[in-house]
Amino acid sequence: MRATFRKGDSLAQLLSQEGIKNTKVLSAIANIPRELFIPDALRHKAYQNTALPIGQGQTISQPYIVARMTELLLQSENSPQNVLEIGTGSGYQTAVLAQLFQKVFSVERIKTLQFQAKRRMNQLNLHNVAMKHGDGWQGWASKGPFDAIIVTAAASRIPEQLFAQLNQGGRLIIPVGQENQQLQCITRHEDEFETQIIEAVRFVPLVPGNII
């Protein structure tokens, strides 16, 4: 019997060549039909390692960055089970997380994007995701604390509410900055936070306040 070819396999292979080592992350990437998360006119670019617009001034992240941020979460010493995602967007990062963690809580400020992402989770039979339409700067306190937090938009500074919602030993992966953004990995040790700079990145801004 011939093995079924998945377009995601070629993307996973490319990411491996780019330095992604975690086989669980690569498998999750391979499993996902990325074209589901992209406007029809751009679907021919679905398996390129590039960020793409998804409407509402937002983007679907470069697959390498999705994989790298997920890999950093899995390297946490606290064996995370429940993850908070700030910025659902298309739901692509959410779908990767849902395959690797017991429970994913995702917050999105743009209602139409949240609705579309929820529909995609159902299409992919990923039912361990809870979604909220709200201000990502506030996190999701009623569902916390979380073993890990991932932020998929660049904050001008790190939201204090996210520190408060992170479990001991947990990691916060977040891009910080405006013109010059840095991906930061922040680990909580009791009431101290250890910060590691990972690499330069480019994300849309994490907008505080009004939800739309």
Active site residues: 61
CA distance 178 to 34: 28
Q: Which of 94, 43, 38, 89 is closest to 69 using CA atoms? A: 94
CA-angle at 45, arms to 35 and 57, nearest 5°? 80
Residue type, 122: N
H and E: helices and strands count for the chain: 6, 9
Q: Which of 63, 65, 64, 39 is closest to 53 using CA atoms? A: 39
